[in-house]
Amino acid sequence: MSGKTTARRTNTPRTKRVDRALRQTPERLAALKTELELLPGLIRSHFTKWTNGAKDFQLRCMEGQVLGQEILLHAATGAGKTGIAAGPHLLPSSKGKVTLVMSPLLSLHDEQVATFRDEFGLRATAINSSNDGCSKEVMQKVVSGEWQIVMLFPEMLLSRRFVDGVLRTAEFGGRCLSVFFDEAHCI
């Protein structure tokens, strides 16, 4: 790996889905962009381990999430991808929003939940076989926004129970901030 970090907005063809960015009114987009100007300062004051603040690529990815854009990031381990998922939750407009993080590595779920909780101060959980799994109660907590970060196995996206109980609900549709795929081979 070259060690180079790249972030770009994708030009994925749109089929039946409507890009969130296209549904924003000009006034709402202007308000979000104004709010995004606060993000570097919020990161420095809340993410104390980030002594130099966020890197430019991290801020661009966070901005893309808030604006509802599709982002593809290729970055080495330790480059700060976890912070990209956490950062937008500092903004007032992200209150009550949920980020789904897909990771195939069960051994890292608890570690990442602890990082989101301890380093970034977010409410986080992992839904997998080593905890409550995909129970009706857990799905309702996801839909209602009890957690800001929800770690999942990629296979959960194939589970009719999870798709119908969470992803297809109107309440969650308005609550979902972003979906992260932590490992490229999950896609």
User: What is the per-residue pLDDT across 153-173, written as a single tens digit (0 to 9) for each?
Assistant: 888 888 899 999 999 999 999
Q: Which residue has the higher pLDDT, 16 or 83?
A: 83
Work out the percent of the chain whose per-residue pLDDT is above 70: 85
Whether residue 50 is predicted with pLDDT greater than 80 in this model: the reply is yes
The domains of the chain, with CATH numbers, are: 23-186 (3.40.50.300)
Q: What is the pLDDT of residue 87?
A: 96
Q: What is the pLDDT of residue 18?
A: 45
Residue type, 177: L
With beta carbons less than 8 A apart as the criterion, state whether 36 and 66 touch.
yes
Whether residue 6 is predicted with pLDDT greater than 60 in this model: the reply is no
This prediction's pTM? 0.85
Q: What is the pLDDT of residue 184?
A: 63
Q: What is the pLDDT of residue 1?
A: 40
Q: What is the pLDDT of residue 2?
A: 42
